Amino acid sequence: MAIFLQNLVNSLQWGSFYALIALGYSMVYSILMLFNFAHGDIFMVGGYIGVGVSFGLLALSSSGILAIPNWLILVLTILFSMFLTSFVGMIVERVGYRPLRNAPRASAAITGLMIGIILETGNLILLGARRVSFPSLIETATYDLGGVFVTNKKIMIVAVSLLLTLALHQFIRRTKWGMAMRAMAFDFVAVPLMGVPVNKVIALTFGIGSALAAAAGILFGIAYPVLDPYMGVLFGWKAFVAAILGGRGSILGATLAGFLLGFTEIFVAMIFPSTLRDLIAYSIILLILTFRPHGFFGEPYSARLRL
Amino acid sequence: MPPPAPISRTFRARCSRVPLLGWLSGALAAVVLERFVGTPLALAVGLPKIPALFGIDIMLKKPLLIPNAVLYTVLIYLLPIAAVALSTAFLTNRLAGGLMKLPVAVPVAVHLGLLYAALHFWADVSDYRSLVLKLTMIAIMLTLSLNVINGYMGEFSCSHPGFMALGAYCASVVTVGLFVDGNYFGIALLPGETGPFLFPIDLVAGGLLAAFGALFVAIPSFRTRGDYLAIISLAFLFIVKSLIENFEFVRGPRGMSGQPDLAGLPTVFSWAVLCVWSINNFVRSTVGKAMNAVRDNEMAAEAMTVDTRRTKIVAFLFAAFWAGVAGGLFAHVLRYVNPGTFGIQNLAEVLAMVYFGGLNSVYGSIVGAVSISLLGEALRPLEIFKWIIIPLLLILVMIYRPTGLIAFKDLEVATLLRPKQGPDGER
């Protein structure tokens, strides 16, 4: 039982990365009906920006210019990197997706893939092949809850990701910009006629999605402090699977599916040899999609839909 | 009397009157020339040795040698090709006209023979060239077979490296087991001389295994398409890769090596030709038209009595079969495979070739595969910057021609081979 609970805690942490990245895929999908294949690499860029920002803040604080405690540095790092990474997302949209808005969707998928490769290679050129590690800003404290070990980092990661998801939900439900996003997801043709600035809303969507990916990148850096330029590839594709599994364009679905993917991967690794993890996890996904081809919360497929 | 036309226009007009036969003979003359006088000429213009890929690699490595490399390329390739093609235009037009009167197989065989001879002499200069050529032809096969699904049928399939892996491993297990000592049966069961005869059967077996694997993607495609199919095919790719990694029989993540050297240039060339021929016929058949109908509007196609399920399954099996054959050839060209080869990176590469060349077009796939693989090799001296330049190029192509360079174009053999000028001078 203790092992089960322990793995539950671990998979909550693992799933929160997937959930945060899947949210970005899902938001862009609900509006533009296309998947931003550069999103996994934006997660990677976010992690690296986080490293840069935190080292900068640490240097400032140790030199005495800006004496702030380490936990505040962490909070500032997350916020600041989210802000910076959102611009990366907007640039990707401006360069790779806006010129192709009326083109076949597969072409936009290809530009996304290529931008991803450029981001990876650019990172390699700028920083070289050495791995970068995240500074440890908070001391790890372990709490023993009846045989289940929980660290403060794990609690923080799960809490921050849930908080961000909730904030996103509120933003989409309560604000004018969120209403514009919902309207565009509902009908892309009529909304511009109502005076909604379409380009701004799309850029904002990319920005918010990228900010969430950056948060995931920093949280990942806190849990597993070594970053490398290709970490976004596999994570991105897996989060893409989660976004689809949740149902297209559904925020709730993407979050749930992200956590579900985390659970599956951790529990498969617990029961079977860990080399079988991908095999069994994806077989389960294939099975789910065979019986529910439109994901958990998506609309059923009909041939009428222009794809 | 009209004024004389400018030189450039007369040159272009004269070029347009040269049939394919003329260009091929020109290319053959150029490569034969290079084969015999290439080394002294390269030394004479100040290059250390014959440039491997039209001098681009030398230009990038040593920018000071750019004029020499350009001079070499002009002297060895452009001048002989142009001279032979233009001077024999009259003769080759007559010849092409005569050939076209025979059954279509005869002119095709003549052209293919010339093409193979040219490639053979070109690749004879160095092993590197021959390897690049073989990999390029395999890339053509892969690109064409992916174009069947992504271009002609309009799905976004991500499982192609998986099909390729199935074919590669199946073919490798058979050849390694039968012809190499110290493997599955202890000793080699068959003498090595029977290899070339059994190799086609082996490749077909690999293709059939890949086609069987394609059933797992094709059957879910009845109920869904678009993004969900993309995910199903992606999951299939991960599953195949993970299966191979966990399968000690094929040595897991360490990969298989020691495949006998069966895939020479003639073998790869003939399989590539067979692949282009059969896919070209397939996409112009009734099933090919049905695929286009399914892509454009599935419901309307169904109403027009197109059996959409049958179309989907046939297309998937056919494309996967050729991907499997290409995988088997790939394994025997490199003589080493490991599961890491067939991942997301490989997928991005094949997708890039399809979308760069052009959807729904056999020409486009050939152009895309050749240009991306040659570009990838030629830009090798740039090292990592290669992976900035190629994606940028692809993004530009996507922005200015969203369906690729040569999209929606049929490959008509008769138009391609016909003489460009009648015997009495008119076109």
List pLDDT tens digits, range B83-112. Answer: 888 888 888 888 888 888 888 888 899 999
- Which residues 120-159 in chain B show a CB within 8 A of chain A? 150, 154, 156
What ipTM did this prediction achieve? 0.84
- In this predicted structure, what is the pLDDT of residue B329? 95
In the predicted model, residues of chain A with pLDDT beneath 50 are 301-307
A9 touches chain B (CB under 8 A): no
- In this predicted structure, what is the pLDDT of residue A304? 37
Packing angle, helices B195-218 and B160-179, rounded to 10: 150
- In this predicted structure, what is the pLDDT of residue B261? 85
- Which residues 141-180 in chain A show a CB within 8 A of chain B? none
Mean pLDDT across chain B, nearest whole number? 86
Nearest CA-CA distance, residue B239 and chain A, Å: 5
Nearest CA in chain B to A293: B224
Contact yes or no for B18/B96 (Cβ under 8 A): no
A94 touches chain B (CB under 8 A): no
| Mutation site for B-interface testing, chosen from A29, A282, A290 by largest number of B Cβ within 10 Å | A282
Contact B236 A286 (CB under 8 A): yes
- In this predicted structure, what is the pLDDT of residue B423? 52
- Which residues 215-234 in chain B show a CB within 8 A of chain A? 216, 220, 223-228, 230-232, 234
Contact B344 A234 (CB under 8 A): yes
Contact B235 A103 (CB under 8 A): no
Contacts of B395 in chain A (CB under 8 A): 95-96, 111, 114-115
Q: Catalogue all structural domains in chain B, each as residue range(s) with its CATH number.
A: 7-106 (no CATH), 126-415 (1.10.3470)
pTM for the complete prediction? 0.88
Contact A293 B224 (CB under 8 A): yes
A241 touches chain B (CB under 8 A): yes
A240 touches chain B (CB under 8 A): yes
Contact yes or no for B361/B151 (Cβ under 8 A): yes
Contact A103 B395 (CB under 8 A): no
Contact A117 B348 (CB under 8 A): yes
Q: What is the CA radius of gyration of chain B?
A: 23
- In this predicted structure, what is the pLDDT of residue A216? 94
- Which residues 378-407 in chain B show a CB within 8 A of chain A? 384-385, 387-388, 391-392, 394-395, 398-399, 402-403
Using CA of residue A95, residue A97, residue A101, residue A104, what is the dihedral sign? positive
Cα distance between residue B414 and residue B108, in whole Å: 9
Q: Quickly state the pLDDT bin for B63 (edges 50, 70, 90).
A: confident
Q: What is the CA radius of gyration of chain A?
A: 20
Nearest by CB: B235 against A106, A285, A307: A285
Contact yes or no for A168/A255 (Cβ under 8 A): no
Contact A110 B394 (CB under 8 A): yes
Tell the burial category of A183 from Cβ atoms under 10 Å away from its Cβ (0-12, 13-18, 19+): middle
A115 touches chain B (CB under 8 A): yes
Closest of B399, B414, B349 to residue B143, by C-alpha: B349
The string of pLDDT tens digits covering residues A36-70 is 889 999 999 999 999 999 999 888 888 877 778 88
Cα distance between residue A288 and residue A295, in whole Å: 8
Residue B278 has pLDDT above 70, yes or no: yes
Any idea what DSSP says for residue B409?
B
Nearest by CB: A121 against B235, B298, B387: B387
Q: For the residues B221-230, what does the mean pLDDT come to? A: 76
The string of pLDDT tens digits covering residues B279-328 is 999 999 999 999 999 988 888 888 888 898 999 999 999 999 999 999 99
B238 touches chain A (CB under 8 A): yes
Using a CB cutoff of 8 Å and minimum separation of 24, what contacts does A150-158 make?
A150/A9, A153/A222, A153/A223, A154/A9, A154/A10, A154/A12, A154/A13, A154/A223, A156/A222, A157/A13, A157/A16, A157/A219, A157/A222, A157/A223, A158/A12, A158/A13, A158/A16
Closest of B367, B289, B280, B351 to residue B322, by C-alpha: B280
Name beta bridge partners: B67: none
Contacts of A108 in chain B (CB under 8 A): 398
Contact yes or no for B312/B290 (Cβ under 8 A): no
- In this predicted structure, what is the pLDDT of residue B229? 82
Nearest CA-CA distance, residue B84 and chain A, Å: 41
Contacts of B242 in chain A (CB under 8 A): 275-279, 282
Packing angle, helices A39-62 and A231-245, rounded to 10: 120
Q: Quickly state the pLDDT bin for B272 (edges 50, 70, 90).
A: very high
Nearest CA-CA distance, residue A140 and chain B, Å: 34
Quote the tokens at residue A301: 């497929």
Give residues with Cβ within 8 angstroms of A181, minimum separation 6. A27, A30, A31, A172, A201, A204, A205
Nearest by CB: B398 against A100, A117, A234: A100
What b/e sequence results for A134-163 when a residue is b if at least 16 CB atoms lie within 10 Å of its CB, and e otherwise? bbebeeeeeeeeeebebbebbebbbebbbe
A235 touches chain B (CB under 8 A): no
What is the Cα B64 distance to its own chain's centre? 33
Name beta bridge partners: A149: A144
Contact B402 A237 (CB under 8 A): no
- Which residues 323-362 in chain B show a CB within 8 A of chain A? 344, 348, 351-352, 355, 359
Cα distance between residue B420 and residue A304, in whole Å: 47
- Which residues 19-48 in chain A show a CB within 8 A of chain B? 29, 35
User: What backbone torsions phi and psi does residue A187 show, to the nearest 5 degrees?
Assistant: -150, 110
B243 touches chain A (CB under 8 A): yes
- In this predicted structure, what is the pLDDT of residue B283? 92
Nearest CA-CA distance, residue B318 and chain A, Å: 22
| Mutation site for B-interface testing, chosen from A94, A101, A125, A279 by largest number of B Cβ within 10 Å | A279
Cα distance between residue A195 and residue A188, in whole Å: 12
Contact B399 A282 (CB under 8 A): no
Nearest CA-CA distance, residue A190 and chain B, Å: 24
Q: Quickly state the pLDDT bin for B271 (edges 50, 70, 90).
A: very high
Using a CB cutoff of 8 Å and minimum separation of 24, what contacts does B289-294 make?
B291/B148, B291/B152, B291/B153, B291/B315, B292/B152, B292/B153, B292/B360, B294/B153, B294/B154
In terms of residues, how long is chain B?
427
Contact B239 A279 (CB under 8 A): yes
The string of pLDDT tens digits covering residues B366-415 is 999 999 999 888 888 887 888 888 889 889 998 888 888 888 888 888 78
| Mutation site for A-interface testing, chosen from B159, B227, B232 by largest number of A Cβ within 10 Å | B227
Return the number of other C-beta atoms located less than 10 Å from residue A239's C-beta.
Answer: 30
Nearest CA-CA distance, residue A136 and chain B, Å: 31
- In this predicted structure, what is the pLDDT of residue B3? 64
| Mutation site for B-interface testing, chosen from A113, A124, A268 by largest number of B Cβ within 10 Å | A113
Nearest CA-CA distance, residue B164 and chain A, Å: 18
Contacts of B239 in chain A (CB under 8 A): 278-279, 282-283, 286
